[in-house]
Structure 1
Amino acid sequence: MSWAEQIPDIQFIISDGLNPRALMDDGHLIPYIDSLKSTLKNSGYSVSSKNIVIKHGRVRAGYACGEILFGKRNTSESKGIVHIIGERPGSGHHNFSAYLTTAPTSTWTNSGTVDHNISKVVSGISDTSLTPKIAAKQTKTILDRMFTVI
């Protein structure tokens, strides 16, 4: 990924995880991403124009991406990921979750420091459960809090 010096505040990562259908179903992934990116940009966040896609990725794969992408600078400036993962096969809902992680670049620099203890999750996203547009609003609210706390 070539950002030059224009490192975005937020990078989206998409992993099929345990349930690729959760991301492929009509009305799931695209409405969530489109709504969330639009809301984030309108609120002043810079968002990468390219998504990272990981086949069979799990939560910690997103942390590793954040370390590679944001760990080159050792500052107090916060950067974050929204890691979308297909989950909970067999539920009939084809749910996916969004794992949200923000940290100063100085934290992303230290390999293995970013982990579950500083992440939040919005789970159960699908057209038959927590709808993508409502989930996007919840995600934005949580990200606002996470960026403010740091």
Structure 2
Amino acid sequence: MSLSDNPDIPRLDPWSRLRVHTSARIGLGRVGDGLPTRQLLEFQMAHARARDSVHMPFDASMVGGSIADLDLPVITVQSRAANRAEYLQRPDYGRKLAPQSETDLLDAANSAGANSSPDVVFILADGLSARAIHENGADMVRQTLALLGRDWSIGPIVLAHQARVALGDEIASRLQAKISVMLIGERPGLSSADSLGAYLTYAPKPGCSNAQRNCISNIRPAGFPVDDAAQKLVYLMNTARKSSISGVNLKDNFSPSLADASR
């Protein structure tokens, strides 16, 4: 008989019933003044995974390949942070485009012709967890586009290296997009190294504050599932476009039953 099949386990360990419902570390026990060996090793493994997610290189080629069938232009850009160490030490560099990337985006906008002012531009950025984008970014874009109405004009998909959230304002303003959606890896926790955040901004431009954004957080299979997050994002996008607002002025009253009504 395994431990999980032992009917005495709930009696011997009353925390076991609660652990079924959460990935949080609760009731870990102790040996003297420390953790039991198994729990200590699990903690160290989770910590290592979180650190790996922060330092994992962003594989833009892989992400671009996974969305190639969407038939949308893909542009790869770089923030002013030249490498991961500089990105972590200088957050302000992650909010500004490298000069060459500024030129590339302006060239893309100028060559777009009649579609030079798209309704929305999607940005997939490494942030603090490239793993989150690798595992959830393409699926989030795909499901969001499938739910959007045909009256939305979609700009190029931008893949951003060494990016902070505010880099989306610089990108979208140069592409003259009315709305930006920044999909970015969130700061990894000890049980959520693959957590993706979606930041929506209406009328994005350099200098926008976080109060002007709407955020959907913890997008991942064990958190807020991608299909649910995509429905909420589409609701916010449609509401933002109708009302010409986002952030604290846009009341988030989303429920699945409202998703179709917002279109």
- Structure 1 length-normalised TM: 0.81
Cα distance in 2 for partners of 1:98, 1:134 equals 13
Cα distance in 2 for partners of 1:91, 1:56 equals 22
**CA contact 2:219–2:226 (8 Å) conserved in 1:** yes
Within 5 Å, give how 1:47-126 maps onto structure 2: 47-48=154-155, 50-70=156-176, 79-93=178-192, 94-103=194-203, 108=205, 111-112=206-207, 114-126=208-220
**CA contact 2:125–2:184 (8 Å) conserved in 1:** yes
1:18, distance to aligned residue in structure 2 (A): 0.4
1:90, distance to aligned residue in structure 2 (A): 2.8
Cα distance in 1 for partners of 2:232, 2:147 equals 11
Three-state SS of the structure 2 residue aligned to 1:12 is strand
Three-state SS of the structure 2 residue aligned to 1:59 is coil
1:66, distance to aligned residue in structure 2 (A): 1.8
Aligned: 1:13 with 2:150: no
Match of 1:145 in 2: 239
1:89, distance to aligned residue in structure 2 (A): 1.1
2:123 alignment partner AA: I
2:132 is aligned, of 1, 14, 22, to 22
Identity in percent: 26
1:101, distance to aligned residue in structure 2 (A): 0.7
Cα distance in 1 for partners of 2:173, 2:209 equals 11
Query: Greater strand share, 1 or 2?
Result: 1
Match of 2:36 in 1: none
**Greater relative contact order (CA < 8 Å, ≥ 6 in sequence):** 1
- Structure 2 length-normalised TM: 0.48
Match of 1:4 in 2: 113
**Structure (1 or 2) with the larger CA radius of gyration:** 2
1:44 alignment partner AA: D
Match of 2:87 in 1: none
Distance 1:141 1:43, change over 3 A: farther
Three-state SS of the structure 1 residue aligned to 2:143 is helix
Give RMSD over aligned pairs: 1.7
Three-state SS of the structure 1 residue aligned to 2:152 is coil
Match of 1:75 in 2: none
2:226 is aligned, of 132, 144, 150, to 132
Cα distance in 2 for partners of 1:91, 1:9 equals 37
Match of 2:101 in 1: none
1:34 alignment partner AA: R
1:43, distance to aligned residue in structure 2 (A): 4.8
Deviations 1:69-106 (A, max 9, x none): 21xxxxxxx81011000012134231010100112xxx
**CA contact 1:63–1:115 (8 Å) conserved in 2:** no
**CA contact 1:29–1:132 (8 Å) conserved in 2:** no
Consecutive unaligned residues in structure 1, runs of 5 or more:
71-77
Match of 2:144 in 1: 36
